[in-house]
Structure 1
């Protein structure tokens, strides 16, 4: 069992860890996501931990590495081809938290949001903060 991650709450069925995991985390301080409560669902495959879970948000998120509807997160370390077994769920959660501290616009899921991050960070941060206030509750 992993030690708790500060600012993260995890609900999992201890009798069946292949059921959806409900994860809530606080937006990292010093980012446009600060003050938000982000609700993430991890769907582990039957091959978990040898294959990665699918992560999605239950709400909209303005982030260059997340589809705007929250349905998919893009990060090389979470991709099946790069998943190292046995990676713990806590490691995967930390990867997502790091992505919120340091977005990766070169791997943007929405190219326009990635371009905005690179070319107009102030506007990106404004929208990310607005979406956080509106949707990450």
Structure 2
């Protein structure tokens, strides 16, 4: 089994005490660097009731380089790209803001917080951000439709 001690320890810790609404497994038992996360849509958000799969890929240089997050479930959200990458724009995951003491559990807590409270001023999908700011009812309607359709 490949993987550094830090990753193995974090994985063991997160199994014992997962962030709320998250189930974390390895995508492949042989590879500690790719984690498969099933995240419940936060309550009181248009994502309530959805199950979102997020892949967390830890670079070989982890924890000195940030993990890469990728939504495998389509999600209608201003901070998640609407392409096959499903990348989420999070300040703490940017190379210049990432700090080695950060842990994946904190990252996942932040992901759920941003799902619940989009940050339209730091959006990767500007059209969705505009809709979120200017026509929140229709944003919520589409987000709920996508959640029902994709996040089963």
- Under a length normalisation based on structure 1, what TM-score does the superposition of the two structures give? 0.92
Answer with 1 or 2: which has the greater Rg.
Answer: 2
Q: Aligned to 2:44, what secondary structure does the other structure show? A: coil
Q: Equivalents in 1 of 2:150, 2:31: separation in Å?
A: 30
- 1:112 aligned to which of 112, 122, 127: 127
Q: Give the equivalent residue in structure 2 for 1:68.
A: 82
- 2:138 aligned to which of 103, 123, 127: 123
2:63/2:100 contact within 8 Å kept: yes
Q: Equivalents in 1 of 2:35, 2:61: separation in Å?
A: 15
1:14 Cα deviation after fit: 7.1
- 1:17 aligned to which of 10, 15, 32: 32
2:41/2:52 contact within 8 Å kept: yes
Q: Equivalents in 2 of 1:134, 1:73: separation in Å?
A: 20
Q: Give the equivalent residue in structure 2 for 1:37.
A: 51
Pick closer, same or farther for the CA change 1:14–1:85 going to 2, 3 Å. Answer: farther
Runs of 4+ in 1 over 4 A off after TM superposition: 13-16
RMSD: 1.5
Note the residue ranges of structure 1 that are not aligned, 5 or more in a row: none
The number of residue pairs the alignment matches comes to: 136
1:64/1:108 contact within 8 Å kept: yes
